[in-house]
Structure 1
Amino acid sequence: MNYWQDLDILDDGIARQQWTQITSKTSPGIVDKHVTDVRKVREGLGLPPSGGTPAGLSFTAVVKAALMRSMDDSGDVIEVWMFYDRYATLPADKAADNAPLTDQEDDLILTWEDGDWKVTEAPQYVDHKYGPVAYDPHSTFAFDDGWREVVSQ
């Protein structure tokens, strides 16, 4: 979950460093794809396409639940689904984030590589992604499908 919670979504330079660190050797195109996504977000906010995060602005993602399943017999490739909220912290002289992204779902495919979990988009795994039952903390169907609440400290 730390991958998702710690990724920079506005600084394209930091995003490139982060994605380079967490990307599998099998999927080098992921880095450029996600840096492009950061630049699109910047442009959507009226910022120049490249640069740092404006002073005093930060984002926090809180993963509330996760589902993990193996995509191969070895357990070395897993698909992780996350249910999360993302909040902006604005400079002290600005209003609070009145429109946080809540109840978002996204997934990553991770492969065990060089002693760490790395993000992969290798076709043999992407082609076999599984869309889980929607998460609801009170749903027995979601629990049976493998969703588990994440406890944050």
Structure 2
Amino acid sequence: MSHGDESGYGDDAVRTDDPYSTIGGTRQTRTRLPDGEGDGYGASRRPARKPRSLVTVVGVVVLLLAAIAFANMGGGKGNDDDGGGSGGSGSKPDSSSTAATGTKPVTGKNDTIPSGFAHDEQGAQSAAANYVVALGSTDMFDKDRRRSIVTAVYSPEVATAREGDLDKVYAGQDFLAGIGLKPDGTAPAGLTFVSRSNPAGTKVVKFDGNTASIAVWYSALFGLAGEGSKNPVSESWFTNTFNLTWVDGDWKVTDFTQKDGPTPVGRDQAASPAEEMADAVEQFGGFTYAR
């Protein structure tokens, strides 16, 4: 499945230099005064930022969404009942929705993808979160790695069909050229291809013993990092809702849908230099996700 890319196609650490951070109990009250009178800290109100160029971001997102839609010909568009931000028929969040359960992450591996998830709601959520990461990774752009992912993630009865659909998408020369990759799906010399999904939370939409519908909210980093990149790494937010079934002692995907957001307000932070972004991708590894 995909990314995200985009993964997609990205996810974000809390920064303690934020004056509004609750880390260490440093939250402060800020009084907003009329324009031109300062903000309570002796600084005048910061002028509105100019919008970033949308050409690259919109182009990449449109391509990715088109690819995902094509690959998921069996699934419909996400709607208010598929685990998005509001509405839905699933269980409502409570104070423990984002809390860790203390259960250790799975130790099994199906190729490079975690496996052996618990046969319960928690296990289904963990499986869905890990599958978002796998389907939104750069490995989806390599034919052999992509087929390994599809075999590990999808249920046997749909895996073969999905392989064919995804091969058509990821081997498309227009698609690859549009995101700045070479015909073999690799990055041009001097650039680092980034496609990483970072789950922010999961939600049980439906659970019935051997079947489950799990929504995963995540950010996706996607683009080419490096000097001269025409598709710099950008961040997007999505919610994927996975239909899972219990097969041969593990949760497997039978279908999924994707919708945009919920998308947080962007912070007033300068984008990192291309070299720094490329180094971060190489130096910071991913996680095995478990509740």
Using the size of structure 2 for normalisation, the TM-score is 0.36
CA contact (8 A) 1:79 1:110 kept: yes
Q: Which amino acid counterpart does residue 11 of structure 1 have in structure 2? A: D
Deviates more, 1:25-34 or 1:78-87: 25-34
Using the size of structure 1 for normalisation, the TM-score is 0.62
CA contact (8 A) 2:221 2:233 kept: no
Q: Which amino acid counterpart does residue 57 of structure 1 have in structure 2? A: F
Aligned residue for 1:27, secondary structure, equals: helix
Q: Distance in 2 between matches of 1:65 and 1:43?
A: 33
Residues 120 and 3 (structure 1), Cα distance of their counterparts in 2 relative to 1, 3 Å cut: same
Q: Which amino acid counterpart does residue 219 of structure 2 have in structure 1? A: D
Say whether 1:99 aligns with 2:234. Answer: yes
> Taking every aligned residue pair, what percent have the same amino acid on both sides?
23
Q: Which amino acid counterpart does residue 116 of structure 1 have in structure 2? A: D
Aligned to 2:202: 66
What does the per-residue CA deviation read over 1:86-125, in whole Å, with 9 as the maximum and x for residues that have no partner? 113644445694532x22122221111112111114xxxx
Residues 108 and 36 (structure 1), Cα distance of their counterparts in 2 relative to 1, 3 Å cut: farther
RMSD: 3.5
Residues 136 and 46 (structure 1), Cα distance of their counterparts in 2 relative to 1, 3 Å cut: closer
Match of 1:19 among 144, 150, 173: 150
Q: Distance in 2 between matches of 1:39 and 1:97?
A: 22
- Of Structure 1 and Structure 2, which has the larger fraction of its residues in strand? 1
CA contact (8 A) 2:225 2:232 kept: no
1 or 2 for the larger relative contact order (CA 8 Å, sep ≥6)?
2
Aligned residue for 1:80, secondary structure, equals: strand
Mark the runs of 5 or more structure 1 residues left unpaired by the alignment.
138-150
Residues 94 and 107 (structure 1), Cα distance of their counterparts in 2 relative to 1, 3 Å cut: farther
Q: Distance in 1 between matches of 2:217 and 2:242?
A: 12
Task: Name which one, 1 or 2, has greater alpha-carbon Rg.
Answer: 2
Residues 38 and 45 (structure 1), Cα distance of their counterparts in 2 relative to 1, 3 Å cut: same
CA drift of 1:19 comes to 0.4
CA drift of 1:34 comes to 2.7
